[in-house]
Structure 1
Amino acid sequence: MLKDMTDSKRTDDHIQGQTPSVVHATVISHHFWPTLDQSDIVMPGPFQQLQEDYAKKFPVFKPDKKLKWLPHLGTVHFELELQDRTLDVDVPPLEAAFIELFSRQDTWSLEYSAVKALATWANMGVIKEQNENTFVLLEQAEDGAEMREMAPVVAAPSLPPVQTVQQQEAEQMRVHWKFIEGMLTNLGSLSVDRIQTMLKFSPNYDKTAEQLGYFLEAARREGLLVVQNGMWRLNK
């Protein structure tokens, strides 16, 4: 598993050295990692094109390998430029895909499943629900307007909910849960410091050991992990 992380970093450095890309891929082997959830998400034009461009460069350094994307995992970082403000955000790919729709037109009528994916943007004041399931882009912020609060999407119900002030950190850690689970499956018991060291090889991981500890404790409360003498393992 650690080898996958170091190889991914090395390959990405090679690709970036040839033609810089905003895409950074972590390539994992199915031989050592738990089965990851699949998704039929197709990222819209610009995102898909970035993936395809990156994938074309990959065989230059790994001629016997071919990338198979899991577009529902990871994080998208971008600047959202509106008429009177710019937002610098990190969001899951699904939320990025839906907000990209508003670059084509300002108003969309969407199904309930899509409405849930727009919760983040509604709470940021980027869009608002004009009529039932109809959303409009707010190029200019509505002064004094009360935005309708929408419940965030629970993208991975198998992960532990947190009901403390650490909830936001746990939500951001959600995408890394499969990596933590894989580490403990293959390596057994690990300390927080050891898990933290391995997670640093994962793209977009920027949490402190203390924040990781909060997340592991939340998982323990939910019965997913156990800890003994500072060593964490899966609760089997």
Structure 2
Amino acid sequence: MRLLLFDNEAGHSDEEADANWENWEPDPVEADPTSTSKSRRTSDIILMLVNVYGSKELFVNEYRTLLADRLLSQLSYHTEKEIRYLELLKLRFGESQLHYCEVMLKDVYDSKRINAHLHSDGNFKLDDQQFPTTAMILSAQFWPPFKEENLVLPTIVQENLEAYTKAFETLKGNRTLCWKPHLGSVTLDIELKDRSLHLSVSPIHATIIWHFQEKSQWTIEELNQVMHVPSTMLRRKIAFWQSQGVLKEVSTDTFVVVEECPNRSKTNTSLVISSEMVCEDEEAESAMASAHDQREEELQVFWSYIVGMLTNLDSLPLERIHQMLKMFASQGPTAVECSLQELRHFLDRKVREHKLLFSNGLYRLPKP
């Protein structure tokens, strides 16, 4: 859902209106004279979408997540369209409901300005690095939760990020940066014996191919040890390099660099082919945590309360735990609500993880 419906307002062009002139009806007498029938139809469409999500809060949260995904996928600092959409939504929902989205767009604008300043000021010496580094600087408390993924970057990249962090700290004083190494985009120039590739890829893709500079053959297990990325994800990401003819699998989970394309004739082996490509991940994965992941994180807030209850009271039934959580853990403006059924699933999962014991309708902690 990209909310492009605002461009068409009601989805009817002037030609369509002229074609249906026989069915035209005047606006009712009590209609607001400052509001046209077209704008009211747009409002009806928004109301329909709100009804689909169930509440204004859920609709706005979904829009916020989609906005974050769009901003982090393009990484171009161009926000004109998004600002227009946001202003239209603010007319419908008010500024307070969309304050977080407004801060997100301001973060993008500020990031562009900060990057330009750090790279133009010779005192920061960022242009002395082997390759330029720019950052999208986000106010963490205003953005939706991100997916947490492990990735150990090459040493030279980490050094560049540390230099950028020091420059930012010098500029901003008491503020610092916490990098998300698995997010972003990397521009690569790959020189092989018979061709040259220019690509924009994700940090995981770039880190994989970077390690093939050190040696021409790697196994999935070896890459897992140096990158700390799950083997299943490594196989999926390496598939991109296989599709580009850069890597090939010589035995199970063992890959080597393809310096020369076997389909190229010998007379053309010295020819350098320059191509520009953008890596489009086959799954178009979101950078944001899923609703399920966010809910799991919220429910973990209850765990410390539950452990405290069972430590003091030895054992409790489900209903009693639920009542005590409502009394002590579900208070305040940021309280997390939890239904009885949801709590049952949460506790049962803890039982499967051997963090709780359940017998005769009572939950208790396992003895150390």
Report the TM-score, using the length of structure 2 for normalisation.
0.39
In structure 2, how many angstroms separate the alpha carbons of the residues matched to 1:70 and 1:138? Answer: 31
Give 1:52 deviation, angstroms.
1.5
Q: Which residue among 256, 263, 266 is the counterpart of 1:136?
A: 256
Q: Does 1:116 align with 2:241?
A: no
Q: Does 1:15 align with 2:15?
A: no
Give the aligned partner of residue 105 of structure 2: 2
Does the 8 A contact of 1:119 with 1:153 survive in 2? no
* Inter-partner Cα distance in structure 2 for 1:132 and 1:4: 45
SS in 2 for 1:47: helix
Change (3 A) 1:100 1:155: farther
Check the 8 A contact 1:58/1:66 in 2, yes or no. Answer: yes
1:22-33 mapped onto 2 (5 Å cutoff) = 22-33=132-143
TM-score with structure 1 length normalisation?
A: 0.60
Deviation at 1:154, TM superposition (A): 3.6
**Distance (Å, rounded) in 2 between the aligned partners of 1:46 and 1:59:** 20
Counterpart position of 1:68? 178
Counterpart residue number, 2:191: 81
Identity of counterpart residues, as a percentage? 34
Letter of the 1:137 counterpart: V
Per-residue CA distance 1:131-158 (angstroms, 9 max, x = gap): 11110101111217xxxxxxx66473xx
Task: Tell which structure's C-alpha radius of gyration is larger.
Answer: 2
Q: Distance in 2 between matches of 1:2 and 1:153?
A: 28
Q: Deviations over 1:166-197 (max 9, x none)?
A: xxxxxxxxx5xx5xxxxxxxxxxxxxxxxxxx
Aligned-residue CA RMSD in angstroms? 2.0
User: In 2, distance between residues paired with 1:89 and 1:132?
Assistant: 27
Letter in 2 for 1:5: V
Aligned-partner residue type, residue 236 of structure 2: K
| CA shift for structure 1 position 5 | 1.2
1:82-231 equivalences in 2 (<5 Å): 82-111=192-221, 112-113=231-232, 114-143=234-263, 154=283, 156=285, 159=286, 178=288
The gaps in structure 1 that reach 5 residues or longer are 145-151, 160-174, 179-236
Structure 1 CA distance for aligned equivalents of residues 186 and 153 of structure 2: 11
| Match status 1:42 vs 2:152 | yes
Moved more, 15-24 or 88-97: 15-24
One-letter amino acid matched to 2:257: L
CA gap 1:43/1:153 in 2 versus in 1, 3 angstroms: farther
Distance in structure 2 (CA, Å) of the matches to 1:153 and 1:66: 34
Unmatched segments (≥5 aa) in structure 2: 1-103, 222-230, 265-280, 289-368
| Bigger helix share | 2
